[in-house]
Structure 1
Amino acid sequence: MTSDRAVSMTLSERFDHAYRVMSAPSFLGMEGLGNEVPYFILPHPPADQPRVSGERQRLVNKLRTSGIAVCGIDLWSLASQLWRGTGVWEQMLAAEASLPKATFGEAVGNVVSPGAHLSPCIASAVAEQEPRPQVVLLSNVGRLFPVVRAHTILNTLQPLLSDIPLVLIFPGSFRQSPTQGSSLVLFDRLTDDDYYRAFDLLGLEVS
């Protein structure tokens, strides 16, 4: 569970803390993780979402100014590219009102399926960036709900991308239990009981 101090952090304080952790050699070197994948959650109160884009860009700029290569990926933008790439996206949108909600959701969901499409695209974006990124920063996952869920992205990315620290900016809470594992609570309302092999970035300290 995130500490009381972390829970009371402002959005700017959360991103300032993220910078201190992410710029540390021990973080970039993936030290102290045991056999776990180097995946981290940067949670924030859902009410702060309108200001997250600015804080995210400030974080990326600070890391790059410090000489750290960052691959920043907006998941909503990436999904939108996949939808437009079908060549029939406008027709799908036009037909939305006449289709059952489940049918439309399945159609758009298939195009951005994490296992088949979205996660491979993330891995490709990282592989194609030069110089090779030292850290990956994912954002805007909340906009994809319920078509795509955060835990599915993380799970399907593991076999594709596990040799670089990855940070997921998450609108909600990251809850950890020694008996039940960890779970992401989207918008602080929607709890998913899946196990997450990830660390709470706000719970890490720079040595």
Structure 2
Amino acid sequence: MSIEKRLNQIEIKIKEPSFLQNKGLGNEVGYFIFDYDPKYEQRVRKEVEYLKNKINNNPNLGFKILEFDLYEIILDILKNKGYLEKTFKFEEKKGREHAKKAVTKMLKLGMDSNLIVNYIIDRYTENSVIFITGVGKAYPLLRSHNVLNNLHQQLDEVPVIMFFPGRYSGNDLVLFNTIKDSNYYRAFPLVD
């Protein structure tokens, strides 16, 4: 199916009653992945913005789209903690790999107190659909399976869609069609 046809299916899917009731297959929590060839990144970004505007400006739908851009969340957390400029200086002094490790540790990515997951939890509202974007921009600081695994444990009130620049087989995430992220079994492909 072409990217245009797949993108057109998103609005249809998110308006389905079963989707809005947050049910995946077999009544599991509704976590979905919209995977796409990374060459369509700009087109996908435009569609996300279009859908947000269309849905959020229609009071008759009964739900809103909340977008969480992982890269922007990282920047916001670093700024609010006063670490953004320090991170740049640390990278210049110690190198990219050390800076990545320091940011990963500061964000508590491997812990229950994961700051990115908490950021999303603190800002979501009932009657919303969460769009997670910025997966490619956040790499290599953040791996998408880490966010999904931790978010899945804490948020099951609203449907979540991750826009993933790469392939999702239903088991494996392959970022940019080349980097195997991890096995992930809890999300469903949004559009085939």
After the TM superposition, which segments of 4 or more aligned residues of structure 1 sit over 3 Å from their partners?
none
1:48 paired with 2:43, answer no
Separation (CA, whole Å) in 2 of partners of 1:183 and 1:90? 35
CA shift for structure 1 position 62: 2.8
- TM-score, normalised to structure 1, is 0.82
Partner SS for 1:34: helix
Identity %: 29
> SS of the residue aligned with 1:163?
coil
Displacement of 1:32 in angstroms is 5.5
2:121 match: 123
Residue segments in structure 2 that go unaligned for 5+ positions in a row: none
Q: Structure 1 pair 140/71, CA: closer, same or farther in 2 (3 Å)? A: same
Aligned residues between the structures: 186
Between 30-39 and 101-110, report the one with greater CA deviation: 30-39
Segments of structure 1 that go 5 or more residues without pairing to the other structure are 1-7, 177-181
Structure 1 residue 103 and structure 2 residue 98: aligned?
Answer: yes
Alignment of 1:198 onto 2:187: yes
CA RMSD, 1 decimal: 1.8
Q: Which amino acid aligns with 2:103?
A: V
Structure 1 residues 83-162: aligned runs within 5 Å: 83-114=78-109, 115=111, 116-126=114-124, 129=125, 132-162=126-156
User: Equivalents in 1 of 2:23, 2:84: separation in Å?
Assistant: 44
Aligned AA for 1:52?
A: V
Q: What are the superposed Cα offsets for residues 123-149 of structure 1, whole Å, 9 maximum, x if unpaired?
A: 1110xx4xx233111111111111110
Q: Given the two structures, how large is their TM-score scaled by the length of structure 2?
A: 0.88
Maintained 8 Å contact 1:70/1:135: yes
Name the CA distance, whole Å, in 1 between partners of 2:161 and 2:28.
14
Please report how far the alpha carbon of residue 35 of structure 1 lies from its aligned counterpart in structure 2 after TM superposition: 5.3
1:23-34 aligned within 5 A: 23-31=15-23, 33-34=25-26
Q: 1:31 to 1:51 in 2, by over 3 A?
A: closer
Report SS of the residue matched to 2:169: strand
